[in-house]
Every structure is written in structure tokens, then in C-alpha cells.
Amino acid sequence: MAKLIYSMGGTFIDEFSLDKNRLTIGRRPNNDIHIDNLAVSGEHAVIMTIGNDSFLEDVGSTNGTLVNGKIIKKHVLQHGDVVEFGKFQLKYVNEEAALQAANGGVDDFEKTMIIRPAAKVPAMSAAPTTIQVDAKSTATAKSTTSSTALPKVQAIKPAITPPVTLNQPITISAAPSATSMASIAAVSIAKVAMSSTSSAEQAQKPLSSAPPLPSVPPAVTTSEPMANLSAAPINHAASQNAAVGHIQVLSGASAGKELMLNKALTTLGKPGVQVAVITKRPQGYFITHVEGAIHPIINGKSAGAQAHQLNDNDVIELAGVKMQFYLFKAG
């Protein structure tokens, strides 16, 4: 489960699990996370947690909410994000998601699962109020990420659920007298020596039920949250190969013309006569016949109908036109 590490100026104060649908942050004592500082509005921000995702929303605060130094209204929290309220910081830690990303997605976790409203859950199932996540791979399902934290599906539709009555406001004050900032700071100093290491340790430690994953460093810098977000966004363009392929036309009307092969696939030739496609793959560039009676000729030999890997300086003959393939090492 994701959590928030609460600190001031690098000094650990407390931590909160994101185990409820809606968690409020503000100066008033009835907030779940109570920050007693004049820079913080009475009702400052809200964190909605749905499944494995948490959404931070500024609820009209006077001074705004900063995530990694940028003012936000709404923000999907990513592992390592630092939320700032005046001098105070909340660091969002979600190791599961981070490990997912680092591993390119753990298989069990990626398996498609059904999520459905509580009302529809057959009577036999145990948890009537929470959503039923039928992790089909029950033997291996990582329960930490699934059933416990999931709210009802209906809660999602109105975007924001009606305010929850806060019966257990969490105040940050660790000491009985700590109502002012100064005293909190004083109290937390006592914890510093221990907490700075312990919070770091906690950050290193996978959640108890997750198996210790081999040597995936959860080292996350806060400056570039998107970069270490591994949820594998589709970002193949800047992939693997540093060397970019080019085609230079050697004969015919457009002799001398150059073409950079920076897309996933580029077609060459005359439609209706002879067409081939060059695909850009992690292993390199490949040419494949698309249409026409004649297959592409590479260095004087027919490449056949199958994909053919291109090497630097290969000469391609297509629809009577000769062209040369070469790799250009960028930078």
C-alpha cells in the first residue's frame, strides 16, 4: 500500500498509509493530516485513493499545493512525488508501483482482473462491503495491491465522494503539548537521528507481503517523477538504438535525396508496383516486402518475402531505384 512520509526540512515527522478512499489535508484539526501552519488553508487538499492510484486535488487553498515544485490543481501521484505545503513536505511512496515499473511489470500483477460493484458480488463471497477483485491467479496474487485498498466502483463515478465524517483525525503532533509549529519541530528533532535512517530504510524495504525483489534499486529521484514512473508509458520513439538509420537515394529522379528512418516503420517504393517497409526494432532495422511481384534486392541479392536485417552501407534496389542504407550515430 502506498504511504505518505511527512517531514519538515528533511526531518521525518510521521507517516500515513493511504488506506482510505479520501484523506483530507489542512490546518483545521479535523483533517486526516493536520498541518498546523498559517501557510496552510483550513481545508487545503484531498487525496483520493482508488485501487493502486492516488489522486491529489487542491480544494481551493489560498497558497496552492506544490508537487515537485510545480503548482497543481489535480495530480495523479507517482512514486517519489514530493507535495509541499509551506515548509512541510509529504513524500508519496508506492514501492509496488515503482517495482512494477522497474521490472517492466510483474506478470501476476499485470494480469487482467475483474473489478465490480459490491452489490453484484455473489452472496458466497466474504467481503460484502468492499469491492471484489477476483484475482484469478489466486495462488500468486499479491493481495497487498488488490482487495484491501479497493473502494466501491460506484464511488468513482461522481469523482469525489461525499465528505467522510472524520472520526479519527490524525494530528501530527507527536507530543501532547505540540500544537504549535515550534514545539512540533522540537519534538521531531529528538527523532531525527533515528528517523532519517529509519525512513530511508523503510523506503528501501518492500512491503512485508511482497517477496524481496532482487536488486531493483528503488532509488527514486524526485526531480523527474515521470522518468522513473515505470508504469511503462508508451515511449518507444527514443528507444534502444542510438544509431539512427538513413536512406540515401542513389539513382533515378530523386537521386541524392535523404530520408531519416526515425519512425517505427517507413514504406518505400511505388504503390501498385513495388513497395517495401523498413521497420525500426530494438535489434536494428529490417526490410520487408509489402507488395509487388518482385522482392527487394539487397546488395544484388533478392531478400525474399521475409524480413531481412539491414547492415550499414547495404544497397537496396526497389522498383528500379537504388538506394543506400546507413547508420548515423547521433551525438
Question: What is the Cα–Cα distance from 245 to 169, expressed in whole angstroms?
Answer: 60
Residue with cell 475483474: 114
Residues 18, 47: contact at Cβ < 8 Å? yes
Nearest distance, CB of residue 208 and another protein, angstroms: 19
Nearer Cβ to another protein (110/258): 110
Nearer Cβ to another protein (42/163): 163
Nearest distance, CB of residue 115 and another protein, angstroms: 4
Question: What is the Cα–Cα distance from 8 to 84, expressed in whole angstroms?
Answer: 10
Residue 310 sits at φ, ψ, to 5 deg, of -95, 135
Nearer Cβ to another protein (126/139): 139
Nearest distance, CB of residue 137 and another protein, angstroms: 5
Nearest distance, CB of residue 57 and another protein, angstroms: 9
Nearest distance, CB of residue 111 and another protein, angstroms: 6
Nearer Cβ to another protein (115/319): 115
Which value, in Å, is the radius of gyration of the alpha carbons in the chain?
A: 28
- In degrees, rounded to 5, the angle at the alpha carbon of residue 311 between the alpha carbons of residues 309 and 315 is 100
Residues 91, 4: contact at Cβ < 8 Å? yes
Nearest distance, CB of residue 241 and another protein, angstroms: 11
User: For the chain, what's the residue count?
Assistant: 331
Nearer Cβ to another protein (48/249): 48
The closest of 271, 274, 299 to 289, measured between CA atoms, is 274
* Residues making contact with another protein (CB under 8 A): 48, 50-53, 55, 76, 78, 94, 96-97, 100, 104-105, 107, 109-116, 120, 122, 133-134, 136-139, 153, 156-159, 226, 229, 231-234, 236, 263-267, 271, 275, 277, 279, 281-282, 288, 290-291
Query: Which residues have a Cβ under 8 Å from the Cβ of 221 and sit 6 or more positions away?
Result: 80, 228
Nearer Cβ to another protein (39/275): 275
